[in-house]
Structure formats: C-alpha cells, structure tokens
C-alpha cells in the first residue's frame, strides 16, 4: 500500500521536474532559437541579458529529472534512454555548446559571432531533440523482457518529427513572449511581431499533434473520446482555445506580461493533455509507473532528501526571479 503511494508521489515529483524544466528552459532555449533574427548589438545583448541570471538554474531541473528517473524508476530510465539514444546525446551536446557559448561570447569579443552561432545552433538542436524524444515516447517503443528491443533509429517517424518541430516553435513562442515582458523599444516590437506568427505556428502544431496522437493507438483514442471521460477531456481543447484567444488579444492590446502567461498556460495544457494520454504508463503501453518503480526502500530514502531540498531550490529560484524582475537593459538589469 505504502509503495503505491510513494510511486505516485515520485511520478508527481518527476512530472513536476520535467514540467518545470520545459517551461523554464523552454523560454531561454526559445531565445536561442530566435537569436539569428535579432540584430547584432543591442538587440542581441538585451535578449542575452534577460536570461543570463536564470538560464543555468532552469537547466538544473533537467539533471533533477534525469537523476530522479534513474533513482525512482530505474526500469523506465533504462528503456527510454537506449530507445532515444542519438536524441539524448544530441541534446546533451547541444546544451554543452550552448552553455559555454553563453558565457564565452561576453569574454571573447573577437569570436563573438562564432559563440553566437554555437548558442543558437545548440539551442535548436537541444529543442528539436527534446521534441522528437517526446514523440518517440508517445508513439511507443518496443519492449521485450524489460528492455528496449528496437533499433537505434526507431524513434524516427513523421509523428516524432512533427512533435520535434512543434516543440521548437513552442519554445520560440515562449522566448518571444518572454522578451515582450523583459525588453523595451525595438527589441520589444520585434518580439511582438515574432510572437504573433509563432502563436499561430504553435496553435497549428498543437492541433496537428493533438489530431495525430489519438490515431497512434486505440488506447489514446478511447482515453480522449469515450464517454464519460470525454466530458472531462473536452475541457482541455476548450481551455486551449480560450488561452490562445487571450494570447492574441494581449498581443494586439500591447500587454507586456499577459502573452508570456498565456504561452505558459498553453504549455501547461499541452502537458496536461500528455498526462491524460499516457497515465498510468511511464513508457506508453509497455511499462506502468508501478512496473518501473524502484523498491519502496529506495524511494523512501530519497524522498527525505527531496522533501528538504526541493522546497529550498524552489524558494531560491523564486527569489532569483524576483531580484531580476525588471526590464533587462543592454548592460544588465535595471
């Protein structure tokens, strides 16, 4: 009994870590994706300054998600990573490049163009790899005897490429709306124009992924369309429509924070939709969270540490965002 509670608890913690990672690293990866479209000089420096204080804190949630998955659901960790092997490696290398480029561009003005390119390329690669990984997990991986049993390119499919592109566009929307909030003048106007088109793109991508997902497996179909569940699940697309309308209204009326809030809401709803599709599986249709769970001794041992430290991290993160709450200037925060 106690093990069941712990397992759900850990699934929630890891789900939270992944969600925290996606929304927080999402907007700074998005800025990397949009970076080539910013003019060299003030516009780029402003964009960089707006995320400089927070990006590495955002990224630590990725370590948390990976480490937590390994510790609490070792079987899932051992199936998903081999199944998406090239994607994970590409993502890590993209993040390495992007992480060092971030700082080195300030330090080495002579090679700034090079580091800017590394920053942008690393961001695109990382975002695309994350999106394709999502699609690969959703479409299901071949599992035999508790191990991945497919080839090293099984993840590649029209569906996974679609989710890859969807995540890139979605991150770019987060990045653009973040800049609307955090910058002023030409940077802000530029971001607003971008956000409009990216908003349309995100909705199209969300619609395409949502339309394709129920056709992947009958289970997904039943989860979304069978009565009485449909009464509940139908709220998700409804809320998406409301948030999207609010996003465009906010853009048109020159609101500064509303677009970012709505972009976040769209991501949360997308995440919720994924949860509805997948639960209670951790590797869809092959391994449930209980199949993959580490024994209760392991989960409870870690829980002690997580309960103490996760709130500390959250408090500190909140404080950091509070300290840097103003507009980002060319030379850092005002």
Binding piece for another protein, criterion CB under 8 A, among 92-100, 200-208, 260-268, 278-286: 92-100
Picking from 52, 19, 76, the residue whose alpha carbon sits closest to that of residue 293 is 76
Query: Judged by CB under 8 A, which of 4, 12, 40, 96 binds another protein?
Result: 96
Q: CB-wise, 225 or 319, nearer to another protein?
A: 319
Query: Judged by CB under 8 A, which of 219, 221, 298, 330 binds another protein?
Result: 298
- Euclidean distance between CA atoms 210 and 316, whole angstroms: 36
- Euclidean distance between CA atoms 249 and 245, whole angstroms: 6
Per DSSP, which regions of the chain are E strands? 143-144, 147-148, 281-283, 287-288, 328-329, 332-333
14, two tokens:
């890891």
Verify binding: residue 295, another protein, rule CB under 8 A: yes
Q: Could you tell me which residues come within 8 angstroms of residue 320 by beta carbon, excluding any fewer than 6 positions away?
A: 53, 54, 57
> Measured from the CB of residue 277, what is the shortest distance to another protein in angstroms?
23
> Measured from the CB of residue 176, what is the shortest distance to another protein in angstroms?
21
Verify binding: residue 88, another protein, rule CB under 8 A: yes
Verify binding: residue 316, another protein, rule CB under 8 A: yes
Picking from 138, 141, 193, the residue whose alpha carbon sits closest to that of residue 161 is 138
Enter the DSSP assignment of 156: -
Query: Judged by CB under 8 A, which of 5, 103, 238, 280 binds another protein?
Result: 103
Preceding amide of 147 cis, omega within 30: no
Q: How many CA atoms lie within 13 A of 65 on its CB side?
A: 16
Binding piece for another protein, criterion CB under 8 A, among 68-76, 160-168, 201-209, 246-254: 68-76
Verify binding: residue 321, another protein, rule CB under 8 A: yes
Binding piece for another protein, criterion CB under 8 A, among 1-9, 178-186, 220-228, 296-304: 296-304
> Binders of another protein among 245-274, rule CB under 8 A?
none
Verify binding: residue 107, another protein, rule CB under 8 A: yes
CB 252 within 8 A of CB 175: no
> Measured from the CB of residue 259, what is the shortest distance to another protein in angstroms?
23
Binding piece for another protein, criterion CB under 8 A, among 49-57, 187-195, 201-209, 261-269: 49-57
Verify binding: residue 276, another protein, rule CB under 8 A: no
Verify binding: residue 80, another protein, rule CB under 8 A: yes
- Euclidean distance between CA atoms 295 and 269, whole angstroms: 32
């Amino acid at each position: 009994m106690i093990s069941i509670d712990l397992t759900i608890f850990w699934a929630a913690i890891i789900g939270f870590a992944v969600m925290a990672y996606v929304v927080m690293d999402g907007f700074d990866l998005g800025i990397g994706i949009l970076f080539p479209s910013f003019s060299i000089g003030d516009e780029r420096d402003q964009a960089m300054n707006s995320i400089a204080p927070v990006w590495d804190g955002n990224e630590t949630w990725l370590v948390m998600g990976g480490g937590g998955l390994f510790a609490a659901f070792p079987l899932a960790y051992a199936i998903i990573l081999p199944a998406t092997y090239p994607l994970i490696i590409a993502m890590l290398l993209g993040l390495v490049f992007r992480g060092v480029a971030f700082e080195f561009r300030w330090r080495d003005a002579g090679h700034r163009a090079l580091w800017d390119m590394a920053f942008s390329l690393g961001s695109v690669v990382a975002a695309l790899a994350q999106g394709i990984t999502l699609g690969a997990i959703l479409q299901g991986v071949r599992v035999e005897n508790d191990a991945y049993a497919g080839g090293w390119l099984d993840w590649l499919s029209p569906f996974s490429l679609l989710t890859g592109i969807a995540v890139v566009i979605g991150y770019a929307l987060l990045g653009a709306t973040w800049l609307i909030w955090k910058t002023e003048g030409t940077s802000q106007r530029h971001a607003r124009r971008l956000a409009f088109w990216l908003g349309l793109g995100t909705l199209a991508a969300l619609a395409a992924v949502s339309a394709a997902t129920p056709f992947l497996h009958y289970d997904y179909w039943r989860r979304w369309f069978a009565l009485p569940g449909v009464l509940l699940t139908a709220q998700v697309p409804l809320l998406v429509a409301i948030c999207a309308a609010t996003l465009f209204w906010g853009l048109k009326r020159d609101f500064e924070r509303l677009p970012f809030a709505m972009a976040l809401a769209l991501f949360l709803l997308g995440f919720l939709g994924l949860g509805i599709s997948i639960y209670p599986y951790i590797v869809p249709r092959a391994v449930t969270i209980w199949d993959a769970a580490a024994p209760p001794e392991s989960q409870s041992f870690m829980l002690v540490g997580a309960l103490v430290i996760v709130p500390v991290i959250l408090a500190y993160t909140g404080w950091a965002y509070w300290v840097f709450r103003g507009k980002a200037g060319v030379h850092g925060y005002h």
